[in-house]
Chain A
């Protein structure tokens, strides 16, 4: 068995003294693990940092084997990402989100979106908007997509301002008026091309956080990694650090 694909490194786990098991988000083969001989050594370790794009050649005798990766660098921005806290937290959180997907299940749109976010991670506001969109995309890929295109009550596609926590559907401002305090605010950047305010960004993460926790994390008995709160706090200029279990 052999294939070649481009992928984004999500994480590395030391294996033995010098090798590493590397987790890569590939376009055609999904989230895929493989053994990199010498992957814990000083030559390959910089290349195998999360967020780097590499070309992998996977070889194994049988399809169900872990297999060996031969890796070649394509885009190494790992080291340049280390200085900004929102970038480091962002990369860690993106990797944690990708880990929600089943192994070896192709999600080319997720791969493409991931590539696009990593390219824009230096710009905090753009990164925040794209992160909210990525979380929405993850919900959709996992079968819990939100319907933010039309009002659940009136069917209208205009003046959408809220989201129902029960149905995950958008609600127009008029229809939401009696229950505003029980609904999530729909950030304007999700329905129109507008510059996001800090409030919009916080609303976006509150929205996706609620549905990810309810549909994906809680059924699996896991919680958000601290990196998510670190990312949001760094973007919004807050200094709060989650103390929750990973």
Chain B
């Protein structure tokens, strides 16, 4: 059995850091050491920020986004177009679309996609809340911005079926050649989707 090189508190810190995405045991050890060395300027504010996050961050009751206020900043922003709702699988997707700054719409976070393999069914997602939001007369369009995977598109078609009677336009993101993509390296399915979705120049 390897000898302990640090006290249980430090080992616990390393173990917890190693559970973060992108960090393995070795990099967690480095991060822990860095935090301990920068105790006042970094570790204390980080601990305080984490505690504040635990206390204040909630899931928005309207859209499923995470924020320190409920309803979230996106839902309460009066400059956003209330007639368009963008449906995303996860908060990370919402942030990605916000980074792109191409939409001034509101969002709906499903909390995942339907996945029989993982046992995720409609009852595990916020689909019912989306359907009730779509029946608001102010909503005119639902943009289904889900992953271009079989699970993502199964969810998209499922949602489209449910929204059929809501009287809103349901659109989805285009599929095709990514920027920087070389045709030679694309799979035939993506190429065929791109050809079908071609637009006039």
Interface, chain A (partner B; CB < 8 A): 10-13, 17, 23, 45-47, 49-52, 73, 75-83, 85, 88-89, 91-92, 95-96, 99, 225-227, 230, 233-234, 239-241, 243, 245-246
Residues of B within 8 A of A91 (CB): 150
In contact, B189 and A246 (Cβ under 8 angstroms)? no
In contact, B122 and A79 (Cβ under 8 angstroms)? no
In contact, B188 and A77 (Cβ under 8 angstroms)? yes
B44 in the interface, Cβ–Cβ < 8 Å? no
In contact, B196 and A83 (Cβ under 8 angstroms)? yes
Q: A11-B117, A82-B175 are in contact. Are A226 and B122 (CB under 8 A)?
A: yes
**Complex-state Cα separation, A245 to B116, whole angstroms:** 10
CB contact list, B1-51 vs A, under 8 A = 21-22
Checking A10, A23, A78, A241 against B158 with a beta-carbon cut-off of 8 angstroms, the contacting residue is A241
B119 in the interface, Cβ–Cβ < 8 Å? yes
In contact, A239 and B164 (Cβ under 8 angstroms)? yes
Residues of B within 8 A of A80 (CB): 188-189, 192-193, 196
| Closest partner residue, chain B, to A243 (CB atom) | B122
Q: A17-B21, A230-B161, A245-B123 are in contact. Are A81 and B189 (CB under 8 A)?
A: yes
B169 in the interface, Cβ–Cβ < 8 Å? no
**Complex-state Cα separation, A46 to B154, whole angstroms:** 16
In whole Å, how far is A240's beta carbon from the nearest beta carbon of chain B? 8
6 contacts between A and B (CB under 8 A): A10-B117, A49-B149, A85-B157, A88-B153, A91-B150, A92-B154
In whole Å, how far is A23's beta carbon from the nearest beta carbon of chain B? 7
| Closest partner residue, chain B, to A79 (CB atom) | B189
| Closest partner residue, chain A, to B197 (CB atom) | A83
In contact, B187 and A76 (Cβ under 8 angstroms)? yes
Scoring B149, B192, B196 by chain A CB atoms within 10 A of each residue's CB, the highest score goes to B149
Q: A226-B158, A230-B158 are in contact. Are A46 and B150 (CB under 8 A)?
A: no
In whole Å, how far is A36's beta carbon from the nearest beta carbon of chain B? 14
Q: 1/0 per residue B115-130: CB within 8 Å of A?
A: 1111111110000000
Checking B114, B118, B161 against A239 with a beta-carbon cut-off of 8 angstroms, the contacting residue is B161
Residues of B within 8 A of A11 (CB): 115-117
Residues of B within 8 A of A230 (CB): 154, 157-158, 161
Contact-size category for B: 20 to 34
| Closest partner residue, chain A, to B128 (CB atom) | A243
B contact face: mostly helix, strand, loop, or mixed: helix
In contact, B188 and A76 (Cβ under 8 angstroms)? yes
**Complex-state Cα separation, A92 to B157, whole angstroms:** 12
| Closest partner residue, chain A, to B188 (CB atom) | A76
In whole Å, how far is A102's beta carbon from the nearest beta carbon of chain B? 16
Scoring A23, A81, A233 by chain B CB atoms within 10 A of each residue's CB, the highest score goes to A81
In contact, A81 and B150 (Cβ under 8 angstroms)? yes
Residues of A within 8 A of B21 (CB): 17
In whole Å, how far is B65's beta carbon from the nearest beta carbon of chain A? 23
In contact, B150 and A92 (Cβ under 8 angstroms)? yes
**Complex-state Cα separation, A52 to B119, whole angstroms:** 21
| Closest partner residue, chain B, to A234 (CB atom) | B157
B138 in the interface, Cβ–Cβ < 8 Å? no
**Complex-state Cα separation, A12 to B150, whole angstroms:** 10
In contact, A13 and B117 (Cβ under 8 angstroms)? yes
In whole Å, how far is A114's beta carbon from the nearest beta carbon of chain B? 15
| Closest partner residue, chain A, to B157 (CB atom) | A85
Checking B121, B148, B153, B157 against A246 with a beta-carbon cut-off of 8 angstroms, the contacting residue is B121
Q: 1/0 per residue B156-196: CB within 8 Å of A?
A: 01101110110000000001000000000001111011001
In whole Å, how far is A202's beta carbon from the nearest beta carbon of chain B? 17
